[in-house]
Amino acid sequence: MNIELVAYSQANPALDPADLLEMSDLATIWNGASTYPENVIEYAGRVCYRSTHRMGTAPRFIVNRVKEGHEDIIEHIVATVRVRNSDEPLRWRMLNRHSEVTQEADGSWLVSANTRVWLDLFRRGIGLQAMPFLQAIAPKVYAEFAADIPSGNGAHAPEPAAIPPPPAMPSLDLDTSCLRPREEGPLRVTLLAFTQPGIDDAEAQLHHGSATFFFEGISRACTHQLVRHRLASFSQESQRYVGLDKGEWSAVVPPAFKDNKGAQAKLDEAWEFIQQLYLELRKMGIRKEDARFLLPNATETRIVTSMNFAAWSHFLWLRAVDKAAQWEIRRLGQLVLEMLYTVAPDVFQEHWNVYREKFPAST
């Protein structure tokens, strides 16, 4: 069996740390002490706890999350390999349905999976020839297999020489102006990373390409719809660990309320009342995980979301280009589409055509 690395999750080339300093806490991704893919993993985990200001301060953050079984955060990074001289990938697909396996014209196999799926395969003793690539991309995710990654509470990040850096992927000719974070009111959509295998077959791109987005300033009503898309990975800010008592959230206001002063006043009154009740419960010793039961669908949240292009395609048909979609998730989906069309126009051309036809004012 011969295995070569074809692609892995790359940084959005439009993200410049200097330009992001005024945008929430996005610039802290570069405070991580590892590869960019692994920094995205840590960032996703810290979004859950609203601790992004601590990026890079705890070298064992990822190691400990994996050890505890909190592995959702490692699903946001994808690696694609090409396997020659073996039909073993068919077995991999049967053992973990979250991998994507495609046979190419020359008989070789393309295999794409997120780092959690690869971890599952390696733990079964399967696909170990791919491990050096994955260790280079996300060394802490695979710490249990690497003697050269320090252990113990006083651990430090491995020396650069211990694990070779991941090989550079070919740069893509992209219009980066279309990939910058987009803000509309409280909503901000940021493309954190994407995988573009650079294969000519659009059908294969559909299954082996992927993208990771960070959504901010959206309501819990919106994310309730978002997480119904099951072939995806989510890391959402936790109301169990993050509290309203620090003034960390506000209410997302629907346009219908903004156009109706009476309705807006009622919403403001309700939100202020809920905040007061929440704070009173906290002072009474009620834990955040219980006090959150008061919070409404309007409560603002943040979430890191990853899907392959096939799953994003399904999401976009339902949420971005359908006028029946709810206004908040529809606009979120449209901003996602504008970025994905830039990254993979062959895959999302039909979505783009329908979008331009139905929503000409938005394009």
Q: Per-domain residue ranges for the chain?
A: 2-171, 212-358
pTM of structure: 0.93
pLDDT number for residue 158 = 38
CATH 3.30.1360.170 fits 2-171, yes or no: yes
Give one DSSP letter per residue of 274-290, joined into a string: HHHHHHHHHHTT--HHH
DSSP-assigned letter for residue 210: E
Active site residue 319: yes
Say if residues 337 and 316 touch (Cβ distance below 8 Å). Answer: yes
**Neighbouring residues of 15: CB distance < 8 A, sequence distance ≥ 6:** 26, 29, 180, 181, 190, 191, 192
Say if residues 181 and 213 touch (Cβ distance below 8 Å). Answer: no
Distance CA 363, CA 361 (A): 6
Which value, to the nearest 10 degrees, does the dihedral of the CA atoms of residues 80, 37, 348, 198 take? -40
Domain 212-358 maps to which CATH number in 3.10.20.600, 3.30.70.3180, 3.40.640.10, 3.30.70.20? Answer: 3.30.70.3180
Closest to 251 measured CA to CA, from 290, 326, 287, 301? 301
Burial 181-211 (b: 16+ CB within 10 A, else e): bbeeeebbbbbbbbbbbebeeeebbbbbbbb
Which of 319, 330, 331, 356 is labelled catalytic?
Answer: 319
* CA-based R_g, the chain, Å: 21
pLDDT number for residue 155 = 36
Phi, psi at residue 361, to the nearest 5°? Answer: -70, -25
pLDDT tens per residue, the chain (363 residues)?
899 999 999 999 999 888 888 887 999 999 998 999 999 999 999 999 999 999 999 999 999 999 999 999 999 999 999 999 999 999 999 999 899 999 999 999 999 999 999 999 999 999 999 999 999 999 999 999 975 444 433 333 333 334 455 666 666 778 888 999 999 999 999 999 999 888 888 889 999 999 999 999 999 999 999 999 989 999 999 999 998 876 677 899 999 998 899 999 999 999 999 999 999 999 999 999 999 999 999 999 999 999 999 999 999 999 999 999 999 999 999 999 999 999 999 999 999 999 999 999 887
3-state secondary structure of 103: strand
